Amino acid sequence: MYKNQLQELAQRNCFNLPLYGCIRKGPDHAPRFRATVNFNGEIFESPNYCSTLRQAELVAAEVAVNTLSKRGPSGSLVAKDLDDTGVYKNLLQEIAHRAGLSLPVYTTTRSGPAHLPVFKCIVDVFGTRFNGKPAATKKQAEQNTAMAAWSALKQSEKDVDSGNRIRSFPSVDGNYSLHVYIPVKISSIAEKQLAPFIKKAGMLVPELFAIDTGLPLCSAHLKSNDGAKVDARARAKQYHISLSRTVEIRHHQIDSIVSMLRHKLHSQKRYWIEFGKWEVFINDDQTRSFLAMEVRSGGLSEISKQIRLVNEVFILHNLPEYYKNPRPHISVAKGLGDITSTLKLVADELNRLKGNVRPTEKSIWSYMFSGIGCKIGQRTYSICKVAA
DSSP state at residue 223: B
- Predicted pLDDT at 53: 87
Of the candidate ranges 19-23, 197-201, 223-227, 350-354, the one whose mean pLDDT is the lowest: 223-227
Residue 264: in which H helix or E strand, if any?
helix 254-265
Higher pLDDT, 99 or 46: 46
Longest dimension (CA), the chain: 77
Cα gap 381→162, rounded to integer Å: 16
Cα gap 358→352, rounded to integer Å: 10
> In the chain, pLDDT over 70 holds for what percent of residues?
79
Strands 32-39 and 42-45: antiparallel
Q: Reply yes or no on whether the pLDDT at 166 is more than 50.
A: no
The tens digit of pLDDT for each residue in 331-375 reads 999 888 788 999 999 999 999 988 776 666 788 889 999 999 999
Higher pLDDT, 326 or 17: 326
The tens digit of pLDDT for each residue in 242-271 reads 999 999 998 889 999 999 999 999 989 999
Q: Reply yes or no on whether the pLDDT at 222 is more than 60.
A: no
- Tell me what the mean pLDDT of segment 52-79 comes to: 72
- Tell me what the mean pLDDT of segment 151-166 comes to: 54
Domains of the chain with CATH codes: 1-75 (3.30.160.20), 86-162 (3.30.160.20), 171-385 (3.90.1140.10)
- Predicted pLDDT at 273: 96
Q: Reply yes or no on whether the pLDDT at 14 is more than 80.
A: no
- Predicted pLDDT at 92: 80
What torsion, rounded to 10 degrees, do the Cα atoms 167, 171, 175, 177 define?
A: 20
- Tell me what the mean pLDDT of segment 214-229 comes to: 51
Higher pLDDT, 228 or 130: 130
Question: What residue type is assigned to position 250 of the chain?
Answer: R
